[in-house]
């Protein structure tokens, strides 16, 4: 089911509760999680790029372990193999560990090992629980300012739904590639995974100006026509972007238009970083939902991913 205004408001004002005591204070945080459960780390840095927070999206622990680091295992289902491995390894090395989950094996592990944990409300695809994850994370990082910024965001849900429907219809039966500036990279990545999981369609993302030095060449005149006929370049533009990056966006648009490619500009809306994150993540998720609904498929389920997990 599509995310609603009421669903989102509930997440933005949700008050997380830590069961147990936070094990001290630390100068760095490593979040262990996969897929939608890892999004909080990247969204947090979207809001404040100075946060000393990194994501570990793999089994076990990062290669470098430092004594002043808090480890946070995040799995919405509580059954993610890589995250369980991360939590067990942190416990075995007697590292400071906290768990964020809605239940499953990870919750049982936290109970058994007396590890402090936060339970988030269940019943959503992990990517749609982003703001539950964020508010839980900010409570652990003592960043009430960022939680407060999220809770005060307002927006016109009908307007966003209308915009999203238009974008979804425009990108139906295409291969979207989302490009944006480095500082807004999270939104391009969120668009990609929303279209992958919700829209059940291939989609990709990259950043200005890195892709101008490699990937861009594959879109020249001699690119395979059957491939290029399906590609749509979606450029997420921000009025506060560096002027040099904005110039790259303009030139890339000119070059692609001259070659008969389709470029779709999308203006990132919102007066604050919190407003941009809330509004644009909803907009992109609803656009992906429009694609799923137009094809008569369930936007919430991920059957191929579940089949893959069963076969492991």
CA distance 1 to 9: 16
In angstroms, rounded to a whole number, what is the distance separating the alpha carbons of residues 111 and 105? 10
- Beta-bridge mates of residue 179: 206, 235
Return d(Cα 136, Cα 197) in angstroms, integer: 24
Say how many CA atoms lie within 13 Å of 192 toward its Cβ: 18
Q: Looking at domain 5-151, does it have CATH number 3.40.50.10490?
A: yes
- pLDDT confidence tier of residue 213, bands split at 50, 70 and 90: very high
pLDDT at 116: 98
Question: 265-308: per-residue pLDDT in tens?
Answer: 999 999 999 999 999 999 999 999 999 999 999 999 999 999 99
- Looking at 141-211, list the stretches that DSSP marks H as alpha helix, in order from N- to C-terminal side: 144-151, 157-171, 185-197
Residue 287 CA: distances (Å) to CA of 48, 164, 197, 283: 26, 4, 12, 6
pLDDT at 1: 62
Q: Which 3 state secondary structure label does DSSP give 51?
A: coil
Q: Which residues contact 108 (CB under 8 A, 6 or more apart)?
A: 78
Q: Which residues pair with 137 in a beta bridge?
A: none
- Specify whether the CB–CB gap between 16 and 139 falls below 8 A: yes
- Span 45-69, pLDDT tens digits: 999 999 999 999 999 999 998 879 9
**What spatial distance separates the first Cα and last Cα of the chain, rounded to whole Å?**
29
Residue 274 makes CB contacts below 8 A (sequence gap 6+) with: 47, 146, 149, 150, 152, 153
Look up the CATH architecture of domain 157-294: 3-Layer(aba) Sandwich (3.40)
**Fold matches, 5-151 and 157-294:** yes
H/E stretch holding 179: strand 175-181
Considering the chain, what is the average pLDDT of its residues? Answer: 96
Which residue do the tokens 């997440």 mark?
Answer: 11
**Domain ranges for the chain:** 5-151, 157-294
- Exposure class string for 265-293: b at 16+ Cβ within 10 A, else e: ebebeeeebbbbbbbbbbbbbbbbbbbbb
Model pLDDT, residue 23: 84
Give percent of the chain with pLDDT exceeding 90. Answer: 95
- pTM metric for this prediction: 0.96
């Amino acid at each position: 089911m599509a995310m609603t205004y009421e669903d989102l408001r509930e997440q933005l004002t949700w008050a997380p509760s830590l069961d147990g005591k936070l094990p001290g204070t630390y100068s760095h945080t490593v979040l262990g999680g996969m897929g939608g459960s890892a999004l909080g780390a990247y969204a947090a840095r979207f809001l404040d790029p100075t946060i000393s927070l990194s994501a570990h999206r793999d089994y076990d622990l990062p290669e470098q372990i430092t004594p002043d680091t808090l480890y946070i295992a995040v799995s919405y289902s509580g059954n993610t193999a890589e995250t369980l491995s991360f939590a067990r390894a942190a416990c075995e090395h007697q590292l400071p560990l906290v768990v964020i989950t809605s239940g499953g094996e990870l919750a049982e592990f936290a109970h058994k090992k007396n590890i402090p944990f936060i339970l988030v409300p269940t019943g959503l695809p992990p990517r749609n629980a982003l703001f539950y994850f964020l508010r839980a994370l900010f409570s652990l990082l003592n960043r009430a300012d960022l939680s407060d910024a999220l809770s005060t965001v307002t927006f016109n849900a009908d307007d966003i739904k209308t915009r999203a429907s238009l974008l979804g219809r425009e990108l139906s039966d295409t291969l979207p590639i989302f490009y944006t500036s480095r500082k807004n990279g999270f939104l391009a990545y969120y668009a990609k995974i929303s279209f992958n999981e919700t829209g059940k369609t291939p989609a990709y993302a990259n950043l200005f100006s890195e892709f101008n030095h490699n990937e861009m060449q594959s879109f020249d005149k001699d690119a395979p026509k059957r491939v290029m006929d399906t590609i749509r370049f979606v450029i997420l533009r921000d009025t506060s972007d560096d002027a040099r990056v904005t110039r790259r966006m303009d030139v890339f648009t000119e070059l692609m238009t001259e070659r008969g490619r389709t470029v779709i500009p999308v203006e990132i809306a919102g007066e604050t970083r919190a407003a941009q994150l809330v509004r644009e993540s909803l907009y992109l998720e609803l656009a992906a939902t429009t694609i799923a609904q137009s094809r008569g498929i369930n936007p919430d389920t991920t059957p191929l991913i579940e089949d893959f997990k069963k076969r492991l």
